[in-house]
Structure 1
């Protein structure tokens, strides 16, 4: 039997971009953890979307391009903003007031599992295979190992925060599927458009709830906000929308299993975090499940190589 053909240069480039995306998003949890120490979650995310969206708009202008003017496209940008930034960004930022960055990384890495379940239930463009069913089961077991035992101690704030991250993960899965509808647009357009829509939604809430002019954020939180906005949001979103079109929604969310060790490692290295033995078992199950969901079969790889 001949060996599978090596990836084409074009495919190798997309896989490299997938690894970059995993690193950028793996670091985001530590940025958020540091940022919300002195900046309230809503204001932190409002600033994140405003800075990242403004940066992308500036780059679009420098390239001699302009954002679409079609109202229907902007309606789609608004929906994408809600499910890919406003809801998940805010939930994760709020959750990390009490949840470690590493644990947030693990829980949020299950996006491919929810993306697959949603495609099966709604769009039905993913085939149901034994391997993918194993991935779903392993992922659910992993989540249960991480948050399930705490449920026996009552619905404490830690459990609610962890469940908030799971809800954010489901929202990301919806966004990955919805984002397929922007095919044909320059990847910067939906990235910038959705972020600007997110800022428009969040800034008024921030002004009313947090009164940001009364805050005194630390230098570390401000630097974390800048790093998160520029690298883990603006740059990451451009790569994300590109990969949605080149690799597909489920394959793009496969960066989730790559960002798990990256995100956990960054949390351990820079924040001194540690995982419980149960969380480590959950981590193994989640990585196994996500890998089973996203690794292409040999037959498919041979056809598409």
Structure 2
């Protein structure tokens, strides 16, 4: 089947950017009452039953091999438990829009990690140049004094970058261990794995979670679980099937504008000029990594 980036694919891509961008907004609200690890637990635990219903509707069976469930446990750590917790912790110090911009380095880190660890995805010149631009964009955001003094905001920004690297490692792990499984089963399986991990961690660090929360907090938790997680995975795999991985990567450019807009409209956030400049450089890095923007201006010799 030929990948088609048509109107339905574009609409789904924008919707995916909206719900993923919304996760930073939902987190800012939930952080007013809950610690980061507990928010991560809520995000994954409420998303699981929704995806199980989808599996049942689509008649996708649960795998029986222990090896697969072990892979889901690792995938849940790399793609959910670790990055979600790092991002939510980082948002205690920095605005949601800035967190989304730094998270936009995921695609470039993913290209580099895949190039280093996977034989069928070589580390090309474009990938290296794109990663370099992405790091330069991060340097613009963090400022020249990042190495000269301790600042909690800088540590928070590094946490977001750590989340991006964890996502990159997850993509390699998924490709090498779960390639033969149905994509929606992989989404549900890794969320179940992350629930197992986060229940233990939250009980140890935060204690037993309370359900006596403000309505706004519950709304944020439902939003980040049902929209930014369950619905996001449905859209993700639908776009992947229809438009292909290269077109899906474009969502990285669309997430920050949604997160920034929501933060500005409802949270009163305002980003400095350095954040916008850094985003522009990171976006250029993604375009270089993708390569198609420059191919269109190449003369065809045939």
Q: Does 2:27 correspond to 1:32?
A: yes
Q: Does 2:129 correspond to 1:134?
A: yes
1:109 and 1:283 mapped to 2: Cα distance?
8
Q: Does 2:220 correspond to 1:224?
A: yes
Q: What is the deviation of 1:261?
A: 1.7
CA contact (8 A) 2:117 2:172 kept: no
Q: What are the Cα deviations for residues 257-301 of structure 1, in whole angstroms up to 9, with x where unaligned?
A: 1212222222112211111122221111111111222252537x9
The residue that corresponds to 1:192 in the other structure is 188
The residue that corresponds to 1:267 in the other structure is 263
1:16 and 1:175 mapped to 2: Cα distance?
27
CA RMSD of aligned residues (A): 2.7
Count of matched residue positions in the alignment of Structure 1 and Structure 2: 296
- Give the direction of change, closer, same or farther, for the CA distance of 1:83–1:37 in structure 2 (3 Å limit): same
1:152 and 1:105 mapped to 2: Cα distance?
23
Q: Does 2:31 correspond to 1:60?
A: no
Larger deviation, residues 94-103 vs 285-294: 285-294
CA contact (8 A) 2:3 2:244 kept: no
Q: What are the Cα deviations for residues 162-185 of structure 1, in whole angstroms up to 9, with x where unaligned?
A: 100000001111222333343443
The residue that corresponds to 2:236 in the other structure is 240
The residue that corresponds to 2:94 in the other structure is 99
- Give the direction of change, closer, same or farther, for the CA distance of 1:239–1:185 in structure 2 (3 Å limit): farther
The residue that corresponds to 1:21 in the other structure is 16
The residue that corresponds to 2:205 in the other structure is 209
| Structure 2: gaps (5+ residues) | none
Q: Tell me the SS of whatever aligns to 1:67.
A: coil
- Give the direction of change, closer, same or farther, for the CA distance of 1:154–1:35 in structure 2 (3 Å limit): same
Q: What is the deviation of 1:223?
A: 0.4
The residue that corresponds to 2:295 in the other structure is 298
Of 66, 83, 91, the residue aligned with 1:88 is 83
TM-score normalised to structure 2 length? 0.87
CA contact (8 A) 1:113 1:290 kept: yes
- Give the direction of change, closer, same or farther, for the CA distance of 1:241–1:175 in structure 2 (3 Å limit): farther
The residue that corresponds to 1:41 in the other structure is 36
Q: What is the deviation of 1:66?
A: 2.8
- Give the direction of change, closer, same or farther, for the CA distance of 1:254–1:126 in structure 2 (3 Å limit): farther
Q: What is the deviation of 1:70?
A: 1.6
Q: Tell me the SS of whatever aligns to 1:143.
A: helix
Q: What are the Cα deviations for residues 88-126 of structure 1, in whole angstroms up to 9, with x where unaligned?
A: 001111111111000000000011110111122221433
Of 267, 278, 285, the residue aligned with 1:282 is 278
